[in-house]
Chains A and B, each alone.
Chain A
C-alpha cells in the first residue's frame, strides 16, 4: 500500500525568504505525486503534479516541486514566500490504477505554512 509522510506539522518562514515543505512517499511502481493547498474554510486546490519527465515540476502561484527518486521525496518549494501563501499544504500519492480514471489519492497529514510579514 502507498503512503505519504510530511514530517513537519508546521513551517514558519519570513516573507520574501525561500520556503520548502517536505514530503516523502512510499509506493510500488512509478510514483504519481501531487501537491494541494487548503486555505481556511476552503476546499483543496491543486498546485502541481509529477507524472514523469523532468524532476523539477512547476505549478500554480510560483510553486515548484523537486522529485527525487533515490530519496523518495517530493518537496514543495517557492523562491520567495508571500504572506498570502499561509495555508495548509498536502502532499498526495496516487494509488494503483484500475482503469478509466479510477485511482485513489493517499494524503499526508498536512503541513501548516505560516509566512511571517
Chain B
C-alpha cells in the first residue's frame, strides 16, 4: 500500500458526460501528479499540483482540468467524454524534494461507452 488513495476504483459512463476522479496524497506530501495509462499511448503525464498551485502541464486535453484543495486532495475533471478517454488514471504524490520518489495510487479505471 503506497498510502495514496483514489476513488472511485471503476467508473463507467457514456460519451458526452462529465466525471470527477479523486486522489488523496500520502500524509505530508504536497505534490500531486496525474497520469493517464492507455493501451495506445502508454503512461502519460497530465498535470501536477504543488500545495494548491498548478506547477506543470503535460499532454492534458482542454476538456480535462484539475485542482488541488487546501486539504491537499486533488480532483481530475474530465468532460465531454469520448470513447478514446477510456483509460486508467493514476495519481502520484511526493513531498518537496526533487529526489523524492513518486508513489502511485491504485488508479481509477474509466470506461466510456
Contacts and interface: CB of A to CB of B under 8 A. Distances in A.
Interface of A: 32, 34, 36, 42-46, 49, 51, 90, 94, 97-110
B55 interface: yes
Given A45-B2, A107-B43, A101 B105 contact: no
6 contacts: A34-B102, A36-B104, A43-B104, A46-B2, A101-B96, A104-B48
Judged by DSSP, the binding face of A is loop
Contacts of B35: 105
A100 B31 contact: yes
Given A98-B55, A101-B94, A104-B48, 4 more contacts: A100-B30, A104-B56, A105-B102, A107-B44
B95 interface: yes
A101 B103 CA distance: 13
Nearest to A103: B98
Interface of B: 2, 4, 30-31, 33, 35, 42-45, 48, 50-51, 55-56, 58, 90, 92, 94-107
Contacts of A94: 98
A56 to B, nearest CB: 18
A90 B43 contact: yes
A87 B18 CA distance: 32
A46 B31 CA distance: 17
